[in-house]
Amino acid sequence: KGNERAAWLETHNSWTQVSSENGIPGAFFYLGGVLYCIKRLLSQYRTLRKDPQFADLANMVFYLLLSFIVTIVNMTFASAAYQPGLPLLCGLAVGLLRTSEKAIREANQNPQAVPVHPSFLPAWKKRVIPVPHTPDLRRSGATHSSNS
The DSSP line for 28-89 is HHHHHHHHHHHHHHHHHHHHHTT-GGGHHHHHHHHHHHHHHHHHHHHHHHS--TTSSHHHHH
Render pLDDT for 55-111 as a digit per residue (tens, 0 to 9).
Answer: 889 999 999 999 999 999 998 898 888 888 899 999 999 999 999 988 888 888 876
Render pLDDT for 47-64 as a digit per residue (tens, 0 to 9).
Answer: 888 888 888 899 999 999
pLDDT at 1: 60
Query: What's the CA gap between 15 and 58, in Å, rounded?
Result: 30
% residues pLDDT > 70 (the chain) = 72
Select from 29, 28, 41 the least CA-distant residue to 90. Answer: 41
Query: Rounded mean pLDDT of 25-36?
Result: 91
pLDDT at 98: 93
pLDDT at 83: 87
Select from 17, 104, 121, 23 the least CA-distant residue to 57. Answer: 104
